[in-house]
Each structure stands twice: as structure tokens, then as C-alpha cells.
Structure 1
Amino acid sequence: MYNTWIAIGSNIKNPKIQADCAINALKNLPNTKILACSQYYNSKPLGTRNQPNFLNAVVKLYTNLLPRELLKKIKKIENNQGRQRNSIKWGPRSLDLDILLFENNIYKFSDLIIPHYDLYNRSFFLYPLMEISPNLIFPDGTTLAYRLSKITCKKLKLWKE
């Protein structure tokens, strides 16, 4: 069994319902258990600013699924919840699930990079991680507290409906 952290993001099609449904779908993955789930946070979008703010959260799982198996499963969850992929990078989306970390391992596949390629720079990943795994040490040996001290966004608001 492996510890893994999954980021949840949504900014259209009722983000709270999207996140709640995603968490329920993650609970139903084979040989997988949710160990912790952060609160829901509100963050400004990256890239295209003419879109609603995002709801963000992080879930810690304990699973037998290997990284690429897990990726296939979470992409299916996204698709089942109406995720439309298009050419707009960082555009609006009903659901975005990202594998942030898998144990303390580093993976570089053509379709998956772990740790997430921009994990250390995104407050909407780091703050929820701090809530559920405050003593986390990243594969490069740095602590979550150190990484949080280096980002410019020093606080995120909680999501309010």
C-alpha cells in the first residue's frame, strides 16, 4: 500500500458538488482508502483571468494502485464528471485531479510527472497539504513548511458557497 496525495480543483458546474462527487469516487477506487481530506479553499485562476475562482482541496489516499493505474482511474473520474479538455491552458474546468506526490518517489513518464511539476509554487496545493500533512518532507528533502515560506501568496481563503 502506498500513500499518495491528490489535488482537486473545480471552477465551473457547481465546484462544491464536483469536489464532493470526486471525493466519493476516490473513496470507491479499488484497494484504496481516504486517510485525510483538506477543507475547500478558494483561489484565483492561473492564466486566463476571465473565469471564476477555483475551489481547491487535497486528499491523502492509501492505495495499492500504482501511479499510472491511479492516473487512469482519476482521468476516468474527471471524464465521468464532465471534464472537457481543450487547447486553453489553465482554462475553466468542471474537475481537475492531479497526483501531487506518490510516497516519497520521483516518476517521469510521458504522461505523468511526480511530484507535480509546479507543486512547490502553487499555494492552492501547499496550504491544503499543510492542513492534512504538516510534517511532510518532499522527495528533494525540503519540508512543506520551507516551501510554504518561499511562496508569495501567504494565505488562502476558505471556499464559501
Structure 2
Amino acid sequence: MTRAFVALGGNLGDTRAALRKALDALDALPHTRLVAHSRFYRTPPWGLREQPPFLNAVAALETALGPHALLDALLGIERAAGRVRDGERWGPRTLDLDLLHVDGVVLEDQRLTLPHPRIAERAFVLLPLAELAPDLELPGQGRVEALLAAVDHAGCVVEP
């Protein structure tokens, strides 16, 4: 079993329910168990600013799935939640699942880059990830706690 971290987010519909359902779906994946998840954070939109705020979290998994099989499973969970990938980046969505990091894996191919190449830019990922693994060293990027200290996380608030 390998530890993996997945970012969850969305800003359309009942986002809280969608994230909870996604956490259940992650825990139900074959050869995988949900070890922990962060609190939910209400965050301003990133990229396209003219859209509703997002709800974000991070899940820690123990899995025997390889990175590409895990990615395929994440895409399946998104589709089941009504996510349509139409090529628009950073737009509104019912559910977004991003594979952030898999312990011991550095990978870059046409489908997947690990660790996720934009973690260090995104407070909406770093805040919940730091709850679970502040000392995690992301190859080529640095330690999560230090990365979080270097980004502006104004406007990101814990959801009650």
C-alpha cells in the first residue's frame, strides 16, 4: 500500500454533499482506503474569477492502485458526479479531483505529472494538505508547510 493525496473541489450545486459523496467513493475504491481528510475550505475562484467560490479539501489514501489506475478512478468519480470535461480550464464544476502526490513517485507523461505541478501556487490545495501532512516533502517543490507560508491564503476560510 502506498500513500496518496487527492484534492477535492467544486462550486456548482450542493458542493458539500458532492465532496462528502466523493470521499465515500474514494474509500470504496478497490484496494484503497480513505485514511483521513481535511476540513472543508471556502476559497475564492482561481483562474477565472467570475464564478462562485469553491469548496475545497484534501484526502489522504492508502492504495495499492498505481498512479494511472488511481487517476482513471478519480475521473470515473467525477463523471458519476456529473462532471463534464469540456476543455475549459479553471471554470465552474460540480466536482474536481486532482491527484496531488503519490509517495515515492515522480512522473511526467501525457496523462499525469506527479507531484502535481501547480501545488506550490495554490493556497486552496496547500491549506488542506498542510492539515494532513505539513512535513510532506514534494519532490522538486519543497515542504508543504514552507510552500503554504509562501502563498497568499487571504479569502480562504474553514467552512463550519
> Which range moved further: 104-113 or 118-127?
104-113
* TM-score, length basis structure 2: 0.94
2:123 is the counterpart of 1:131: no
* CA distance, structure 1, for counterparts of residue 134 and residue 142 of structure 2: 13
2:56 equivalent in structure 1: 56
2:36 is the counterpart of 1:70: no
SS in 2 for 1:49: coil
Q: Which AA in structure 2 matches 1:78? A: E
Could you tell me which runs of 5 or more consecutive residues in structure 1 were left unpaired when the two chains were aligned.
none
* CA distance, structure 1, for counterparts of residue 104 and residue 150 of structure 2: 21
How large is the Cα RMSD of the aligned pairs?
1.4
Could you tell me which runs of 5 or more consecutive residues in structure 2 were left unpaired when the two chains were aligned.
none
User: How many aligned positions are there?
Assistant: 160
> Which range moved further: 5-14 or 99-108?
99-108
* CA distance, structure 2, for counterparts of residue 152 and residue 145 of structure 1: 13
* CA distance, structure 1, for counterparts of residue 127 and residue 32 of structure 2: 24
Contact in 1 for aligned 2:135/2:144 (Cα 8 Å): yes
The percent of aligned pairs where both chains have the same amino acid is 35
Post-superposition Cα deviations, 1:79-101, rounded to whole Å, max 9, x if no partner, equal 01100122322110000000000
* CA distance, structure 2, for counterparts of residue 152 and residue 28 of structure 1: 35
Deviation at 1:147, TM superposition (A): 0.8
Deviation at 1:142, TM superposition (A): 2.2
Map 1:23-62; keep pairs closer than 5 Å.
23-62=23-62
